[in-house]
Amino acid sequence: MTSFSRYRAEWFTTAAGARRDILAGMVGTFALIPEVIAFSFVAGIDPEVGLFASFVIGIVIAIAGGRPAMISGAAGSVALVAAALVHAHGLSYLLAATVLAGLLQIVFGLCKLDVLLRFVSRSVRTGFVNALAILIFSAQVPQLLGVDWHTYAMIALGLAIIYLAPRVTKAVPSPLICIVVLTAISVLVPMPLRTIADLGRLPDALPRFGWPAVPLDWQTLAIIAPYALAMAAVGLLESMMTATVVDDLTETTSSKARECSGLGLANIAAGLFGGIAGCGMIGQTVGNVRYGGRGRLSTLVAGVFLLVVMVPLRPWVAQVPVAALVAIMIMVSISTFAWGSLRDLISHPKTSGAVMLATVAVTVTTHDLSAGVAVGVLLSGVFFAFKVTRLMHVAVDYDAATDTRLYRVSGQIFFASAEIFADHFDLADDARNVRIDLTAAHLWDVTAVGTLDELVARMRRHGIAVELVGLNAASAILIDRHAQEMRVPAV
């Protein structure tokens, strides 16, 4: 199948498939609305900013993304990163950072940096998810302080609806039922409750194109660059994780590099149309797939139908109590947290638990998901290096008949194990001959080659005849290219 034929098949298969995509996309829209509004609140922006962004992102990612049936929008960890920038410098700088984040994501996609996801261990991913859950919950705490009992009662009722409604019907997402019921109660029984109208302006027209109102100078770049990089990184990480989930659910493959570039284009468009950066949304995407969405049409419908619903229903949406959004976000936090990871702390290796806890601790402390992931990946690499060094062994024998010291090396020799490897050799050996058997070993880098080269050179300066045996082809090539004192072919 050619690339064009494959792309066309991702849009249109059969009439029945198109119908399922349309219906699944419409359901995805209803699941999208409460979370986008709630995360807009977390980011400290008007709901219209998040809704405009989700509308634009949905259209662009449907066309340019690499994973059909995946729903992306202005929610998730990106909102947590954006909150600090909005608080410090305002919305205009956030829009500029959104455009820059999109450009960075396009560069990441073109450079095929999606392969870096392979170096993110399960422990880091689990820590990332747990930290996100904690940050989502902590963002709701201000709404629980300084309020009367009406707010707590409405939140409790909202949580009851969210968890009990699926037992009655799954035709309508329970968060949407929560919003409808709590809004109806607050309208029929006046109570001192904050509503979405108190949070900011909702959209009443189509988004308009325009460059962010910020000075185009180096000072602006210095302000937005750290936030743009963080938004680009966490957005890509969350999107890649979501795409992997869809791959597993649909038993298909997707282009992660294209998803990176597609998300970058979507975020550039979002910033130019007055929206915040977005990423893949795991909950909405899984719902879309389970409701029958398989193609790009479901993603497009989710974005377009979002604005169709929001503009005519603006007066009704403005009356939604904030307590409903808090209930939804508490549910999102609970469902996001990987509770099984607490049990795994006992049964899994301690290093895995340490990586997960470190990722959570750094993320929660700094409120920077990318920093937590970076620390987690670094720790995973360090623990892996220590583990590999323990797998390297050197056995020493002596043959008196030939006056030969035999070193049998097994394992991996690279920058982290090269010094340990060198410590096994006695440079003041009385033996006239030394044989180094590398049949069960492998040289990985120039550090390993340089260490071996230096050992051989020193022993030869002491009058010891050195012989290397058992070099595999790859190790022999490294020695031929980088060793200064020896040129030994593979034996």
Cα–Cα separations (whole angstroms), residue 91 to 87, 216, 477 = 9, 16, 56
For strand 279-280 and strand 72-73, is the pairing parallel, antiparallel, or unpaired?
antiparallel
Q: Which helix (H) or strand (E) holds 18?
A: helix 15-43
Measuring CA to CA, how many Å separate 59 from each of 53, 99, 352, 377?
Answer: 10, 17, 39, 33
Residue located via tokens 């900013």: 49
* pLDDT mean values, one per 10 residues, the chain (491 residues): 75 81 79 76 82 91 90 81 85 92 92 75 82 81 83 93 86 79 90 79 77 90 91 85 78 85 94 90 76 86 84 78 84 81 86 90 79 84 77 87 90 85 82 90 89 88 87 86 61 39
Instruction: Evaluate if pTM is beyond 0.95.
Output: no
What's the CA gap between 189 and 233, in Å, rounded?
A: 45
For tokens 């039922």, the residue is: 177
Residue 105 C-alpha from the chain's centroid: 13
Report the amino acid identity of residue 63: I
Q: What is 267-290 written as a DSSP string?
A: HHHHHHTT----EE-HHHHHHHHH
**Phi, psi at 277, each rounded to 5°:** -65, 150
> What is the secondary structure of 137-185 as a DSSP string?
HHTTHHHHSS--HHHHHHHHHHHHHHHHHHHH-SSS-HHHHHHHHHHHH
Phi, psi dihedral angles at 72 (to 5 degrees): -120, 150
How many angstroms separate the CA atoms of 89 and 262, rounded? Answer: 28
H helices of 189-311, in order, are 218-250, 256-272, 282-290, 296-310
Residues 6+ apart with CB under 8 A from 287: 27, 28, 31, 173
Mutual orientation of helices 149-168 and 174-188 as an angle, nearest 10°?
140
Distance CA 337, CA 314 (A): 33
pLDDT at position 31 is: 67
pLDDT at 373: 78
Whether 373 and 116 have beta carbons less than 8 Å apart is answered as no
Q: Which tokens sit at 344? A: 């795994």
**pLDDT at residue 130, as a whole number:** 86
Rounded (10°) CA dihedral 236, 237, 240, 241: -150
- Rounded to whole angstroms, how far apart are CA atoms 331 and 459? 67
Q: Provide the b/e sequence for 65-79 (b: ≥16 CB within 10 Å).
A: bbbbbbbbbbbbbbb
List, edge to edge, every strand of the sheet that includes 465-469: 393-399, 404-413, 433-443, 465-469
- What pLDDT shows up at residue 488? 46
pLDDT score of 46: 80
